[in-house]
Amino acid sequence: MNKKQQQSSPKRKPKPSKKQTQKKHQLVVKKKKRKQISGSPQDRLKKGAVKQNRKKRKKRLVKRKKKGIIKELAITLSAAVLVFLTIFTLTVRIPKVEGYAMIPTINDQDRLFVYKWGEIRRFSLVFFKDPAGDESLIRRVIGLPGEELYYQEGRLFVNGEEIPERFLSTNLAEFSDEPLTEDFSLKEIIETGQVPKDCYFVLGDNRSYATDSRYFGFIKRSEITGVVKARIFPIHAMRQF
């Protein structure tokens, strides 16, 4: 190379060392921090306002979520209560006993649990409308559809076979020499030999004072509201039937 070419060629700058680059980076970071710190009061106020707005938004979102959860719970509970009440009214009655026709099994002013879809069997306690009036009664089923029955010497005979009535109180019989149930047959009191289809013959447990099928005849299945399953009040006398 000529001297002229050597003189005209540019000189290359030496590369900075690692320490120099680190120092430059630190200086740049410090400058940025200084700018942030040395910002105007208006900028600081703006930043504070932005933070407060964010906090407020978060609080609003939390409140909305809580309100949504409460609404969902309220709707769910109200729907559950409505379903329960609907099922309850369609399947259950809680009548109050009035009178002494069923003592000592059931007493006056007792509260009973009546299941509307209960199966009617012999000696079931049924809740039904009085055929001779508007009030509702509770009596015990003695005769089922198609059966012949009569009482002889205070004992029940169904289709010629004696059926013990163990639910009757022996204490009441001690006060009188006469049987708890006077002798009779269906032909004598209702002028028919059998209990008709879809009908039942009912009696009160307090046989001497109860008004029952001996006076108002058979009761139809459609007149029966339900079967008594339990006494729920008074609490100390709760029991199942």
Instruction: For the chain, list the strands marked E by DSSP.
Output: 92-93, 111-115, 125-129, 136-143, 149-152, 155-158, 161-163, 184-185, 199-203, 219-220, 224-233, 239-240
- The tokens describing 124, both together, are 């079931």
Element (DSSP H or E) covering residue 33: helix 18-37
Query: Across all residues in the chain, what is the average pLDDT?
Result: 85
- The tokens describing 113, both together, are 């649990």
pLDDT score of 162: 96
Phi-psi region of 106 (alpha: psi -120 to 50; beta: other; left: phi over 0): beta
Residues of the chain with pLDDT under 70: 1-20, 22-26, 28-48, 170-177
pLDDT score of 23: 66
